[in-house]
C-alpha cells in the first residue's frame, strides 16, 4: 500500500491566496507532500496588504491538532503564524504530546513595515516553548535581529549571524537574505548538530511578485524533510524551488500590489 509524505501545516489563512496557509498548501503539493492544516487565524488581505485579522480560539486549534494527529499523523510540520501567547502554549503542548518531528518554524514576528506582529509575552513564549522543539527555524533579517537582540552591521559576515542564532537557541537556522542587496541572494543554513555552514545561492530577481516567499520556502523545506531528505539537501531543494517560482511568477500580474510567486511553474504556462 502506498503512503503519502505527510506535512502538517500550522498557520494563518490568507484570503488573497498568495501567502499563509494557502501558499503553504501549494508549496507542499508542488514539492511532493500531502498537506493537512491547522488554521490559527483568518485574515482579510489581498496583494495590497492585510485589512483585518481574527484569531482562532486556542481550544479550536487544539481540536484541529487532535483530529489530524490522532488519525493522519505527520512526517514533518511547518509552523507559521501563531498570534498569541495562549495559542503558542497550546501548540507547544500538543507538539510535545505527539512527539512531533521535523518541525520547521517560520518565526512570523515582524511585518514588512518593520512593526512587531507579536506582543512581548508571545515572543518570549515562542522562544522558550516552540523554538526548542524545532529542527530548524527560517527567520528573515528583521526576525533574526529581534531574536538575537542586535542589529545586523556587516553583511559580509552574514553566516556569523546564523551561527550566533543557532548557538543561542540550540536549533538549526536557515537565515534568509531577501532583505539584503546584491546580484545574488545567498541564504545561510547552519546545522546546529554538525556545525556545518551551507550557502544557498541564487540570482536575485527584480520583481514585485514576491508575496508569500517566506511561507513557501519553509513549507517546501518541510515537505522535503517529510520525504526523508537531509536538512542540507532539503534546504537546497527548497531554495531552488523558490528561485524558480519567483522567476516564473515575475511575468504575471495579479491584483494591484505585490503578486504571488508561481508555485506550479513545473506544469508550464
**CATH number of the domain that residue 29 is part of:** 3.40.1190.20
Radius of gyration of the CA atoms of the chain, in A: 17
Comparing 243 with 180, the larger pLDDT belongs to 243
If phi over 0 gives left and psi between -120 and 50 gives alpha, with beta otherwise, what is residue 195? left
Residue the block writes with cell 546584491: 182
In a domain, 261, yes or no: no
pLDDT exceeds 70 at position 112 = no
Percent of the chain with pLDDT over 90: 86
Sequence-ordered list of residues with C-beta below 8 angstroms from that of 4, at least 6 positions apart, any chain: 33, 34
pLDDT exceeds 60 at position 113 = no
Q: Pairing relation of β-strands 184-191 and 196-203? A: antiparallel
- Residues designated as active site: 176, 210, 212-215
In a domain, 142, yes or no: yes
In a domain, 264, yes or no: no
- Of the listed ranges 44-58, 59-73, 141-155, 189-203, the least confidently predicted one is 141-155
pTM for this one?
Answer: 0.96
Q: What is the mean pLDDT of residues 116-136?
A: 92
In a domain, 37, yes or no: yes
In a domain, 269, yes or no: no
Q: What is the mean pLDDT of residues 13-25?
A: 96
pLDDT band at 109 (very low <50, low <70, confident <90, very high): confident
Helices 58-71 & 85-97 angle (0-180, nearest 10)? 20
In a domain, 157, yes or no: yes
- The predicted pLDDT at position 118 comes to 80
Q: How far is Cα 252 from Cα 260, in angstroms, rounded to an integer?
A: 9
Sequence-ordered list of residues with C-beta below 8 angstroms from that of 268, at least 6 positions apart, any chain: none
In a domain, 258, yes or no: no
Q: How far is Cα 250 from Cα 186, in angstroms, rounded to an integer?
A: 20
Total domains in the fold of the chain: 1
The domain in which residue 123 lies consists of 6-249
Hey, which residues does 101 pair with through a beta bridge? none
Sequence-ordered list of residues with C-beta below 8 angstroms from that of 20, at least 6 positions apart, any chain: 11, 12, 13, 14, 43, 80, 81, 212, 215
Sequence-ordered list of residues with C-beta below 8 angstroms from that of 234, at least 6 positions apart, any chain: 221, 224, 225
Cβ neighbours around 153 below 10 Å, total = 7
Q: What is the mean pLDDT of residues 204-220?
A: 95
Chain center to CA of 185: 17
pLDDT band at 111 (very low <50, low <70, confident <90, very high): low
Residue the block writes with cell 501545516: 9
- DSSP letters along 104-134, please? EE----B-TTS-BSS-HHHHHHIIIIIGGG-
In a domain, 107, yes or no: yes
Amino acid at each position: 500500500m502506498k503512503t503519502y509524505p505527510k506535512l502538517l501545516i500550522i498557520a494563518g489563512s490568507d484570503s488573497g491566496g498568495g501567502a499563509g496557509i494557502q501558499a503553504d498548501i501549494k508549496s507542499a503539493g508542488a514539492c511532493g507532500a500531502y498537506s493537512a492544516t491547522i488554521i490559527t487565524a483568518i485574515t482579510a488581505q489581498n496583494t495590497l496588504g492585510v485589512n483585518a485579522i481574527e484569531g482562532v480560539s486556542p481550544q479550536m486549534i487544539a481540536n484541529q491538532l487532535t483530529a489530524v494527529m490522532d488519525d493522519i499523523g505527520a512526517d514533518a510540520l511547518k509552523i507559521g503564524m501563531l498570534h498569541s501567547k495562549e495559542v503558542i502554549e497550546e501548540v507547544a503542548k500538543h507538539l510535545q504530546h505527539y512527539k512531533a518531528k521535523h518541525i520547521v518554524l517560520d518565526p512570523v514576528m515582524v511585518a514588512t513595515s518593520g512593526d512587531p506582529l507579536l506582543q512581548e509575552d508571545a515572543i518570549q513564549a515562542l522562544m522558550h516553548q516552540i523554538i526548542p522543539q524545532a529542527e530548524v527555524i527560517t527567520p528573515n533579517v528583521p526576525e533574526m535581529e529581534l531574536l538575537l537582540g542586535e542589529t545586523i552591521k556587516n553583511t559580509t559576515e552574514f553566516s556569523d549571524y546564523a551561527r550566533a542564532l543557532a548557538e543561542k537557541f540550540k536549533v538549526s537556522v536557515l537565515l534568509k537574505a531577501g532583505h539584503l542587496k546584491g546580484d545574488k541572494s545567498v541564504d545561510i543554513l547552519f546545522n546546529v548538530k554538525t556545525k556545518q555552514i551551507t550557502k544557498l545561492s541564487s540570482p536575485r530577481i527584480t520583481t514585485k511578485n514576491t508575496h508569500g516567499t517566506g511561507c513557501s520556502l519553509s513549507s517546501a523545506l518541510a515537505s522535503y524533510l517529510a520525504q526523508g531528505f537531509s536538512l542540507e539537501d532539503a534546504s537546497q531543494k527548497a531554495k531552488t524551488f523558490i528561485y524558480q517560482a519567483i522567476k516564473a511568477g515575475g511575468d504575471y500580474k495579479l491584483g494591484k500590489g505585490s503578486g504571488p510567486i508561481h508555485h506550479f511553474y513545473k506544469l508550464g504556462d
